[in-house]
Amino acid sequence: MAKHIVMRFFFVMLPGLVIAGCGDAEPVSAERYVGTDQLVSIIDENLVSSANLSKILDIDHSRLAQEAGSVMPPATVLIFSDPALDSELIKLNPLVALDLPLRVLAFEDVGDSASKVIYNSFDFLVSRYQLGPGATKSLRTKYNHAMSEITKGVPPEAMASFASDEMKPDGVITIESPYGYQETIDRVKAAINEQKDTVHFGVVDFQANARELGIELNPSYLILFGGPGPGGKAMADAPTLGLDGFCQKFLVWEDASGGVNLSFNDLLALAERQGVTKALALRVINFRLNQVFSDALASD
């Protein structure tokens, strides 16, 4: 099967969200990165050999944070795609695109300092996005196969899981846009560019990817970005937030009636579901996401 990805990468350091604290923490030693780097290499090799999965990018949260003056445990998220699977899931609920493309996290567990790999289960998607009868056995099998393929060779003792697969739908914040689809995208990008120390990691045009496969999908566009400094502070005691809380993801999408919406994660809800620390830095980032981007889509 051909690999179809519509993706642009652009790395831009821009003026930042600055959050005080953690300035006196010791830098992460090179030795601490060895275990997670080995797990990342295994996953990378699996991606190279896969016929259906395409790597989008990886984000080394810890090293980026350290470069920005923050300290957090080793944690690298690998983002990859099966466009056909992505499209099938988005057809069930457009909001599921917030958990796509697929991703796994290699991280150092704050509990036992062991290097581990974690990802969200299919049951998590069913719960969070209320997929209901549309979440067929076939779709579950495809999802599980993709995750098994990507983690092949990872030692069983290194595989971690969350205590619960349950999450309420109110963990997604949606703002109705008074503007058209493209103008909404432009306004959101402009608002991101006004923030300090922000990195644009890329965009995913799910509709374009689906079209390459002959699948009709309503407009759906994901923007990946983040502030490594404040993000590192937010993840200092909660590196698993590097799976789905960071980088940040903004989804611009068109509903069945033609309405345009902006959706993004409530980071505190993600922390609640994972049972991890809701650091002050996380609360500040969550507040700014709500304030800044609600203002960006306010009617002129």
Asked whether 218 and 259 are in contact (CB, 8 A), the reply is: no
Q: Where are the domains of the chain?
A: 7-296
Q: Residue 162 and residue 52: Cα distance in Å, rounded? A: 26
Query: HSE-up of 242 (CA within 13 Å, CB side)?
Result: 35
Asked whether 255 and 268 are in contact (CB, 8 A), the reply is: no
Instruction: Please report which residue ranges of 57-163 form alpha helices under DSSP H.
Output: 61-67, 83-92, 122-129, 137-150
Region 7-296: CATH code: 3.30.310.70
Question: Which strands make up the sheet holding 199-205, listed edge to edge?
Answer: 7-8, 199-205, 220-226, 248-254, 260-265, 172-177
Q: Residue 159 and residue 148: Cα distance in Å, rounded? A: 11
| pTM listed for this prediction | 0.89
Residues 77-133: tens digit of each pLDDT: 999 999 999 999 999 999 999 999 999 999 999 999 999 999 999 999 999 999 988
* Higher pLDDT, residue 107 or 11: 107
Q: What local confidence, expressed as pLDDT, does residue 300 receive?
A: 65
- Quick one: tokens of 205? 């045009």
